Structure 1
């Protein structure tokens, strides 16, 4: 099997699965219970929180456990907006956000918030100047994705964070789900107030994530019913998943020395794709994450390519996994100014630190067989 859909989800590390199984079977008490089993479970959560905080260079009290990126984005965006609405109702974001953020903004618009969607350039990025131009007296939040999940474009988060330090009334939220462990981001130096993470993007298990909430910041909870997670996320904690997530994050950060290898793999893949007839590259060659390449074969149906590769035990995807089954063209590629034909035929290839050059060579070899057959049908 050649798995090239790591932006949709990564394969859990074996050690992570073993940790989950051990905690789930041995430390199964409810962390809110007063007996020893409950206190053991609570202790494991505290230890995991400390470990994650140390890895990110933040305080343990700034880590809030969630069920993943979608919940994290919704808590951060809606919670901050509703908490700050007495001061203003203007929010700045971009046209290339993940659906979990984009749809949260749509919901807030229905509640009377005014959302400015910044257009992106042909590489899918925005500038500090764009953000500064749109800031108003009633702006309360700037929210942006760090690494675009479809194209790998890196937005200038640190530079925007520096700008916003001159506007202390504005909160800065960053969706770091695709970037964590692949594209460095220092939360403190970047002036970030809220930041979203998801375990299954760094070899943890699905259904777990966490949100960085800067100390002293108060945002509204989305649902209620318990005092867990500083009353920001009520509900019995997934103890085994949280402990496994902390291990996954540590193991992933330990592979930091492999980032150069990923960059070389990406460069080589783009070079080979450019040599294939009918292929156009959608991802920027520079200022991009080392693990994502998006390309199109205009006129060809991307689902046909995906299924043809699947028959060869090679796995890639189209668009975001959250919207890949929808038939519409990619709104991210459209926002970049690409034609509807290209936006309709985008294919995303995404690596992990385990991806090899031999696997990508095999992927290219299969494309060399598949593409001429598809183009023959398209041109007939």
Structure 2
């Protein structure tokens, strides 16, 4: 099977998430990275492209040039991965969608609601696919949890608790920390800090597993580090479809927390617990019975989990494989679309999930400014 020719916008020298996306695209051998506009300066873009083995004439100085020239080539890219800071998602995505090139974009959708609406319109006007990499939805035990909820094993959902805690922004970061530099700059990250960076992951995961949308919320956002212009901690109450209630906490100023994404879901018949830092385990407690440990590829793993598992039980899979699952599912959808079939986007996050995330950020900011008043999404 011919590999999908892939391009990348962003992700050049010293970038973190670009390397993750490249690894994810390689794991199952579905893509061949052949072009890139890897930096905002032509010199660094060329340097980064050559370091990755790209041809000099396909290491572009801007995404505009890349979109135009790749679309004109017979061997041009069929998909592009956008791994830039948030404020540079919409422009590149729209440029490639306009030319019929499929887009795989890092989250959150954009930096502002205006950008999000423009991008939503571009997605609807294009025949190309748009995929948003909420990578935690690709974990096998998360797929199993979603399937268990959907099949009624927990009964009607009553309570959802989700948190995403980190500590890497506990102190003010200096200019040498490029990851912190753009994430704490509202011009590049958007008005949301922690809620946009990791809070959207927590929100998306709660909705993905339960199948329930958040209808309204009451948010209390803080910027604990003096001078910080975006939030670094948030406590949010959630009212969800069907009467379920939720609590979401996200923080980047929680010492001792590295990448603490955790989810608990409770229904009439039982509960589920999962932690990203121990992702191969899912705890299931039927009401009135002993707690059960379900392991990835173990005796209790179901078809939904096994479909996105690669190695035998006891061989850990996690962050990179979760990303890879989305890239591989995207590849199947891209091949179907390019062959004239109706693509099965299955559980892939897309523009709808992206807009939900943007509404979550917007509502959280509005609520906090109104002294944690309840606001609708």
User: TM-score, normalising length from structure 1?
Assistant: 0.28
* Greater percentage in strand: 2
Higher relative contact order (CA 8 A, sep 6+): 1
User: TM-score, normalising length from structure 2?
Assistant: 0.28
